Chain A
């Protein structure tokens, strides 16, 4: 019997095309070579009109509730944000402000960020990791930071970044493959990422 792993990625980019989304897709593509998975990408730029101005959880529309539920039920969560003012974007944080503080216990989370230059690489360690540590999630030891120069036409093109993605996935696998997946699949089909 095979299992399909439920991988949810949150891309904090507000624009399309987006390097952050391209990075998320590259990670999913790499993962799909190793695991049978069902991938769900939540693009906050698309979702923003439905929660950006909402300040009370009770006022969230179903589309956003459903996205939050998907995050909470993931076997692996990939979070990626562009770097704004040396941190994740406001809307990225606003989204996770709606996630219940007990909903991500022990969930493996792969941290990723994209910035204009290498200078903001520490955003992973100083902003993203503390946020998901608060949730008592299992932040994966290796995060992925990508700079603008690592992309060509909004696709990952730098070989060092590609190697980093492979390594991050390789090191993530032992931490997620033992999980009892939520979705039990009877066929061996691998859902295409994205």
Chain B
């Protein structure tokens, strides 16, 4: 099973890319392959004029259509998804996400832009007719780092949320496996019950 991640960050080594990197580790453990594409993988002229007949654009459309699900990852720029993401989403044909679950991964400079997930990105995914749009993971950039080897390292709270989200996303793909951490809201619910 293959999931396609579309990276909307102009930088390949961005914090947003690190969210994909951590998702890949979790998906691989579930035997789900993750491929990643960003605008750097396409010739500029084909992107700029939306040349649907260009071989690399057709290859992209083919990869979208054969993927079991998609991860849509973007930084928040100007309180919305990055233009570099939308350039790629514009190449997906009308209704091109029909029948596919989508997991949004979003990074922003402050918690104040959380709602960009719901107000900016999800409407576009809905327009592409994604069958199930996961709640998504919003990360504040200060929670995303790298270890000495340059591998992505997330704040524990974020890592747990991402793991939970990836497992829920896998369940939407029909791959069921217990998440390494119970969802935070479930913990809260149980702890509240106990405290009663």
Contact = CB atoms under 8 A, between A and B. Distances in A.
Interface of A: 14, 45, 48-49, 52-53, 55-56, 84-97, 101, 126-127, 130-131, 133-135
B138 to A, nearest CB: 17
User: DSSP majority for the A interface?
Assistant: helix
B29 interface: no
Contacts of B48: 14, 48-49, 52-53, 91
Report the 6 A-B pairs with minimum CB-CB distance, sorted nearest first.
A94-B83, A55-B10, A90-B87, A90-B86, A93-B83, A86-B127
Interface in B26-53: 39-40, 44-45, 47-50
Contacts, number: 93
B85 interface: yes
Contact of B87 (A86, A91, A126, A133): A91
A90 B92 CA distance: 12
B127 A94 contact: no
B70 to A, nearest CB: 14
Contact of B123 (A55, A86, A92, A96): A86
Given A14-B50, A130-B79, A94 B128 contact: no
A86 to B, nearest CB: 3
Given A14-B50, A52-B48, A53-B39, A93 B10 contact: no
A139 to B, nearest CB: 13
14 contacts: A48-B49, A49-B44, A49-B48, A55-B84, A86-B124, A87-B124, A90-B85, A93-B80, A96-B83, A130-B79, A131-B78, A131-B79, A131-B80, A134-B78
Interface in B89-138: 89-90, 92, 119-120, 123-124, 126-128
B11 A55 contact: yes
Of the listed residues A49, A93, A96, A101, the one surrounded by the most CB atoms of chain B closer than 10 A to its CB is A93
